[in-house]
Chains A and B, each alone.
Chain A
Amino acid sequence: MRRLRHWGPGLLLLSPSLILLAVFVYGLIAWTTKVSVSDEHNALGSKGFVGLDNYTKLFTNDINDRFTHSLRNLLIFTVVFLAGAMFFGLLWAFILERGVRAEGFFRTVYLFPMAVSFVASGVVWRWLMNPNTGDNAGGLNSVLGGLGLDFLQNTWWTNPDWGMAAMAIPAIWQLSGYVMALFLAGFRGIPQELREAAAMDGASTYRLYRNVIFPQLTPVALSALIIIGHMSMKMFDLIMSVSGPQWLTEVPAIYVWQTLLTSDYAKAAAISIILLLLVAVVIVPYLIYTNRQEKNA
C-alpha cells in the first residue's frame, strides 16, 4: 500500500497518454489487422472473415504483380538511399571532424534540407530530374551536358528499371546531413585519451582511424542505418511530390493510398500490415536492444 502511494500518482499522470496510445496505436493496428482478414472490398463493407486470403493474393494474384513490383521498387530505393546517405553523412562528418574553419556554418548548411518538407523539396527535384536529354535537356541533364558529361544524362525516375535509384537522390540530399550529425556526435564522443594513447604508440593517422576511431562508431552507424532505414520503408511524401502516384515509382506506402481511393479497405489494410511488419522487424529489436543497453549502463 505504501509502495502504491509512492508510484501511484505517477501512473495516474501518465494514464491519459497510455490510454490514448493503447487505443490509437495498438487498438487501431488491431482494427486494421481485422479489416485485413475480412472481405471488405468496397464501401458497402461486407464483413466476412477470409483468413490470410488478402495477403496471399497480394503475392500470387495481384494484377501485373503490382505488389511485388512495389516491393522491388522499395528495395532499390532503400538500398541506394541508405548507401548514399551513409556515405555522404560519414564523409561530411569526417571532413568536419578533421577540423575546418567556420565549422558551424558548414554544419548548418549540410543540415538545412532537414528543415524543409519533402513536399516542398519535391517541387524542385521534379524540375531537376527532368527526363529530357540532348538538345531539350533540362535540369540536371542540362548541367551534365554543359559539363561535357552527356553520357551521364539519363531519364532519372522515369526509367522503368532503375528509376527508383534516381528517386533516392532527393532523399539522400535531404538526409545525409542528419547522418552527418549523428556521426559527428559519435566522433566527438570518443575520449581524447584514446587518440592520445594511439599517438603515443606511434600510430599513423590511417591506423588511428582504421583501428581506433571507426570501430568506436559502430553503434552510431547502426542507429543511423535503422533510423533512415525505417524512414525509407515509410517513404511517401517525397515520391508523391516528385512523380505523383504512378506505376513506375509505386511503393507499398503509396499503394495503400491508391487502394483506398477505390475503397478496397481489406486490401489496403493487408498492405499496411505488411508495411508495419517490415518496419517492426527493424525497429523492435532496436528498441529492445537500447532498452537493455540502458539497464546495463
Chain B
Amino acid sequence: MTTASIQAPPPVESLEPVRKPRRGTGPGSIIKYALALLFLLIVLMPMYVLIVTSFKSGSDIGVASQWSLPETWTLASWEKAWTALQPAFFRTFQLAIPVAIISSLIGAANGFVLSRWRFPGADVVFTLILFGMFIPYQAVMIPLREIVTTLGIPPGITTLVFVHCVYGIPICTLIFRNYYATTVPEELIEAARVDGAGLLRTFTRIILPISIPGFVVTIIWQFTSAWNDYLFAIFLSNTRNGPITIALNALAGAQSPDYAASMAGALITSLPTLVVYVLLGRWFIGGLMAGSVKS
C-alpha cells in the first residue's frame, strides 16, 4: 500500500519492475514503443540544440541553419565560455563539496536521534524541521543579508556554504531519518544501551559504519542543490565571488546574447551534475524521492 508517509526509506529500488516486461507485438505494443521513443526525442531535443549550437561558428547561427549540424565544427565558443566561467567553475566546487559533507554529517546525527533515540514530542519537532525545506527563501532573505553583513561572514562562497548547510538541514535530516528507520533495527540500539553504550558511542561505532548508502544520497543531493542554486547566489554573492549559475547568467543574459557561447556555457555549467547523475543515477533518484517526503 502506497501511502503518503514520512516513515519509509528513499525507495531507490522501488522503481524497478516487479516482473519481467511483457514482450508483445500487437498494436498496443507498437503504440507503446512509438510513444516512448517520441517522448525520448522530445526530452532530448534541447540537449541536441545545446550541443549542436555550441560547436557552431558565428556565421553558422543564422535562422536557416538553426537546427542543422555545424558546417564547420569549432571550439571557439567553448573557449570563450570557458574563459568566462572558469573562475566561477572552480569556486562552485569550493562551495558544493563542503556543503555536501557538512550537511550530510549534520543530517546523519539528526536523523539518528529522530528515528532511534527519540524524545517526547519528537514528531512535532521533526515536522517543524521539515517546514524549513518548503519555505520560499525570499521570506528570510532580507534579514539574512543583514545578519551576514553584521556577523562579518565574508561575502560569496563562505556565506553560501553557511546558508546551504543551514537550509539543507531539513532534507538531510529527513533522508537519514527515513534511512535509519528501516535499516537499523530497534533491537540493535536497545542491545547497545543494555551494554552501557551511550548515544555518541552507539552513533559512531554502530550507526555510522552502516550509513554509507544514506551518505551517498545526501552528498549527491546537497552537491547538486548547491551547484544548481541560483536564488541564494543572486541574493548573497555577485559575479566576482559567486558560483557558476551567476557567471552563466552574466554570460547568457545579455540583451543580444552570443548563443553559441551561452550554450557551451550551459553545458559546462551542467557537466558536473550530469556526470553525477549518469554515474550515480539510482542514488540521485533516491534523494529526489525523499524530497517528496513520501514513499
Contacts and interface: CB of A to CB of B under 8 A. Distances in A.
B230 A240 contact: yes
Contacts of B123: 291, 294-295
Contacts of B140: 24-25, 28-29, 32
B55 to A, nearest CB: 14
A101 B24 CA distance: 11
A230 B126 CA distance: 20
A223 B293 contact: yes
Contact of B21 (A92, A103, A286): A103
Interface stretch (A77-85, A149-157, A182-190): A182-190
B274 interface: yes
Interface string B102-139: 00001001101110011110010111111110111111
Interface string B167-209: 1011001000000000000000000000000111001000000
A99 interface: yes
Contacts of B20: 99
Interface stretch (A56-64, A133-141, A160-168): A133-141
Contact of B285 (A13, A88, A181, A236): A181
A103 B17 contact: yes
B263 A17 contact: no
Interface stretch (B71-79, B211-219, B246-254): B246-254
Contact of A121 (B11, B257, B266, B284): B266
Q: Which of the listed residues A122, A192, A244 has the most CB atoms from chain B within 10 Å of its own CB?
A: A122
B50 interface: yes
Contact of A110 (B43, B113, B228, B231): B43
B240 interface: no
Q: How large is the interface on B (under 10, 10 to 19, 20 to 34, 35 or more residues)?
A: 35 or more
A253 B138 contact: yes
A265 B42 CA distance: 43
Interface in A84-120: 88, 91-92, 95-101, 103, 106-120
B36 A236 contact: no
A293 interface: yes
Given A24-B166, A234-B136, A110 B4 contact: no
B136 A233 contact: yes
A139 to B, nearest CB: 7
Nearest to A194: B1
A17 B173 contact: yes
Interface in A240-297: 240-241, 244, 253, 256-257, 260, 265, 268-269, 271-273, 275-276, 279-280, 283-284, 286-291, 293-295, 297
Nearest to A113: B43
Interface residues of A, number: 117
B86 interface: no
A186 B294 CA distance: 11
B270 A116 contact: yes
Nearest to A282: B134
A200 interface: no
B169 A124 contact: no
Given A142-B66, A186-B2, A124 B39 contact: no
B90 interface: no
Contacts of B16: 188
Nearest to B229: A117
A241 B284 contact: no
16 contacts: A9-B200, A13-B200, A32-B142, A96-B36, A103-B17, A106-B36, A120-B228, A138-B66, A185-B11, A220-B4, A265-B142, A271-B138, A275-B138, A293-B5, A294-B7, A294-B123
Given A272-B142, A287-B130, 16 more contacts: A20-B169, A31-B142, A95-B32, A115-B277, A116-B274, A123-B262, A124-B49, A181-B288, A188-B14, A188-B16, A191-B1, A241-B253, A260-B142, A279-B134, A291-B6, A297-B3
Interface of A: 7-11, 13-14, 16-18, 20-21, 24-26, 28-29, 31-32, 35, 88, 91-92, 95-101, 103, 106-128, 132, 136-139, 142-143, 146, 173, 177-178, 181-182, 184-186, 188-192, 216-217, 219-220, 222-224, 227, 230, 233-234, 236-237, 240-241, 244, 253, 256-257, 260, 265, 268-269, 271-273, 275-276, 279-280, 283-284, 286-291, 293-295, 297
